[in-house]
Amino acid sequence: MNEYKHESDIYIGKLLNNRYSIKSLLGKGGMGRVYLAEDVNKSCMLVAVKILSLNIANQQTAQRFGREIFIGAQLGRKSPHITRVLTYGITNERVPFYVMEYLCGKTIKQILKVESLTINKFIELTQQICLGLHCAHQGVTLDGKIYPVIHRDIKPENIFINHHGKKSEIVKILDFGIAKFLTESSGMTMTESFIGSLPYSSPEHMQGEKILDVRSDIYSLGVLMFEMLTGKHPFHTTNHSFSIWCKLHCVQTPPTFEEVNPQVKIPDELQQLVRRCLAKNVNGRPKNVREILDNLAKIKTQINDNGFSSDPVKIVPLTSVSEKECWQKHWPKNKPVALICFPQLLQTAKGNIATFWAMLPQAEIMKFQGKICTTEFISKMDNYPMVLWVTMLYDDQSALIRWLSYYLDLKEIREEKILHTLAETGYYHLLFFACEEPHKCAYVTTFILTAQQRQTLADNINLSQKFDQKIISSSQGKSLLKKEYEKLRLEVNKKLNTLDKKPTIILKSWLVKLFDLFKS
């Protein structure tokens, strides 16, 4: 588990249950945060503590949490491929947490960012994932009955390779039972309270089926297997709304491996296995994980017998090169050291890339890392050829919100070129600089525009070229856009106040809906 450096946090330095001393933040996501801690009762043995993004409202919810953690603890004792849960508790603020074994290594997500897997390595890792899932699906004993356990959130982030790169490396599955607990405890409708990861959820999960069986995990495993083999997700979208992902999982036919990555060479039998796992209808998938394990064993034997090449394919993210260049940038000498923001074109070997520069306090920059960020473009082209570029940053833990905005006057060649680059490339880098240390870049994040946003920007550019006369002045145009901008801010602030402390995925879903409503 990798440590987050220089992260301020209310739990760091605290002693939970008079036993676990919180040292640093290891990771964070929609379901909660994971911390490195020392068990002071066991010679300061290192452990991992996960604190959930939820408050325990009543005794019934507390009992349900305890039940899910008890089940997870049983699984960890039964299988070496499931993270061991040691104990659990509730903070003074009624926030549930549980204590796990401390792991040293990387998640599948982290690994795929920097390296590709050979076929043999893929099979080795997938077999271990399947062994952990098979153990859970067989069930645990509770009150004299056997209960099969469905994970509900199989994804690259939840597959950890302990001692990655060493001979003793072993796959560990994280977060068993947590998705189910958060779903049952949210008290919201299905689309509002959807707990899971949209890119990896099964069709029946997306459609709100109350009872999921092992084949739901098998679908998620199929998506994961596809990504491990190609370096890319089977479904590509720039719009990450619930409705779009529901359509992709429930209706869209998965592409072939060659369509996603023409460089990969994968045995036909392995391709067929992954395609079966991705079947829309549960009856088209393998009936259980044991069947997948049997198939993988046969495929491995065939590969060894036939000498199938398993050379890795190096996948380099499209934006990774220009992101590295952003980290080398310095705050312009002609700009004041102040809380300001502005766009700039970054010249790279592959052409111009749009960037947005912002100066904020160091503490805020750390809070916004990995948090909810969204972007929008406001225009009224029938009045004046101008676009207001808005980026919203939100930290759900502290409820801190920052709005970054800049007016792009399309009568100015430089600003029209920035908008044209945004429409053409479909992404931009946001560069953060700290007021306390202004001359070097402190953090870089990348925004991917939706297809609709890119088309709207292209339409705005075309309209601006046909704009022959000024109906109103530039300052009047800014005033009109500012009114629309203030309406958007008011609506978003209202909704965020009502959704405070909800899981990240719920907040993101509401923001998408609000922005769509605002545009209509």
Predicted pLDDT at 454: 83
Triad 22, 104, 222: Cα angle to 5°: 115
Q: How confident is the model at residue 189 (pLDDT cuts 50, 70, 90)?
A: very low
Q: How many helices and strands (H and E) does the chain possess?
A: 17, 18
Annotated binding-site residues for ATP read 50
> For residue 279, is pLDDT > 80?
yes
d(CA 1, CA 226): 24
pLDDT at 251: 92
Above 70 in pLDDT, residue 42? yes
Lowest mean pLDDT among 141-145, 207-211, 251-255: 141-145
Q: Catalytic amino acids?
A: 153
- What pLDDT score was predicted for residue 269? 93
What residues have CB less than 8 Å from 299, skipping those under 6 apart?
123, 267, 269, 270, 273
Residue type, 511: L
More confident residue, 385 or 178: 385
Position 470 scores a pLDDT of 58
pLDDT of residue 463: 83
Residues annotated within the binding site are 50
> Rounded distance, CA 131 to CA 151, Å?
13
- Residues 322 and 346: their CA atoms lie apart, in Å, by 8
Where is pLDDT greater, at 236 or 20? 20
Q: Is 25 left (phi over 0), alpha (psi -120 to 50) or beta?
A: beta
Region 11-29 average pLDDT: 87
**CB-based burial of residue 205 (10 Å sphere; 0-12 exposed, 13-18 middle, 19+ buried)?**
buried
Mean pLDDT of the chain: 83
Give yes or no for residue 145 having a pLDDT over 60. Answer: yes
302 falls in which pLDDT band (50, 70, 90)? confident
Residue 517 has pLDDT above 50, yes or no: no
Percent of the chain exceeding pLDDT 70 equals: 84
Task: Give the model's confidence band at 38: pLDDT under 50 very low, under 70 low, under 90 confident, else very high.
Answer: very high
Highest mean pLDDT range out of 255-269, 287-301, 418-432?
Answer: 287-301
Model confidence at 286: pLDDT above 80 = yes
* pLDDT attached to residue 123: 94
Average pLDDT over residues 197-210: 90
Of 14-18, 339-343, 508-512, where does mean pLDDT reach its minimum? 508-512
> In angstroms, rounded to a whole number, what is the distance separating the alpha carbons of residues 301 and 513?
50
Q: How confident is the model at residue 315 (pLDDT cuts 50, 70, 90)?
A: very low
Rounded Cα–Cα distance for residues 122 and 388 (Å) = 46
Q: Which residue has the higher pLDDT, 517 or 28?
A: 28
pLDDT for 190 equals 40
Q: What is the pLDDT of residues 326-349, one digit of tens each?
A: 998 999 999 999 999 999 998 877
Per-residue model confidence as pLDDT tens digits over 128-137: 999 999 999 9
**Predicted local distance difference test score (pLDDT) of residue 314:** 42
Which residues touch 259 (CB under 8 Å, ≥6 apart)?
none
Higher pLDDT, 475 or 398: 475
One-letter amino acid for residue 70 of the chain: F
427: left (phi over 0), alpha (psi -120 to 50) or beta: beta
472 or 391, greater pLDDT: 391
pLDDT at position 56 is 79
Instruction: Work out the average pLDDT over 46-59.
Output: 84
> CA 431, 432, 436: angle at the middle one, nearest 5?
150
Lookup result for tokens 């590969």: 303
**pLDDT attached to residue 21:** 93
Confidence of residue 1 (pLDDT cuts 50, 70, 90): low
The span from the first CA to the last CA of the chain, in angstroms, equals 44
Q: CA-CA distance, 228 to 315, in Å (whole number)?
A: 11
